[in-house]
Amino acid sequence: MTKITQFVNEFELAKNKLEYVKKHIVATYIPYEVKVACCNNILKFGMYKTVNEKKVFWINTPIIYQLFVQTIISSYTDIDLKDGLEDEDAVLKGFNRLEQIDALPIITEAIGKDFDIFNTVLKMIQDDEIQNNSFQNYIDTKIEAVGSVINTFISTLEEQIKNNPQIMELIKNTQVE
């Protein structure tokens, strides 16, 4: 692992930044199922929060971006964003150092097309989450549930009427004119 401080110092001195970054790329392909798992994990923390001990849909795009970058760095490079430190802000400090030197575009170029695929998978899963948690989907689900209850009620009522002809007679006699 290359600590972020060392990476930043050497990156800033490098004449050919792309060639320097390529030395720190440890993977140019991540299996699809790993991409999906990583993206699900990113969105689990970036699209939900806990309110009154209940998980609620709440999109936090800045955290999604930060987790995305951290995942790309940890999955494709040998860069240690923590710089060997264990404090809770270490990763954020490393993330900020990469942002400050504008290294991410060069890192993604060095990774190649798999970065674009990873990004596409994240967007697909995010779109699915948004669609699956939309108000329209919520309403559609409730309407479907109510329809199911009504259909069950009607089926039961029809069965009762069929088995008890006196019910139909009672209904006819109580109709309001």
Closest CA relative to residue 61, chosen from 46, 51, 71: 46
- Per-residue pLDDT of 103-136, as tens digits, reads 999 999 999 999 999 999 999 999 998 888 766 6
DSSP sequence for the chain: -EEHHHHHHHHHH-SSHHHHHHTTB--S---HHHHHHHHHHHHHHHSEEEETTEEEE---HHHHHHHHHHHHHHHHB-EETTTT--STTHHHHHHHHHHHTT-HHHHHHHH-HHHHHHHHHHHHHHHHHHHHTSHHHHHHHHHHHHHHHHHHHHHHHHHHHHH-HHHHHHHHHT---
Q: Which pLDDT band, with edges at 50, 70 and 90, does 138 fall under?
A: low
Cβ contact 22:110 at 8 Å: yes
Per the confidence metrics, is the pTM higher than 0.85? no
Q: 10 Å Cβ neighbour count for 29? A: 14
pLDDT of residue 134: 67
Instruction: Take residue 16 and report the two structure tokens written for it.
Output: 């050919």
* Residue at token pair 């400050």: 100
- Per-residue pLDDT of 17-27, as tens digits, reads 999 999 999 99
State yes or no: pLDDT of 12 exceeds 60: yes
As a whole number, the mean pLDDT across the chain is 88
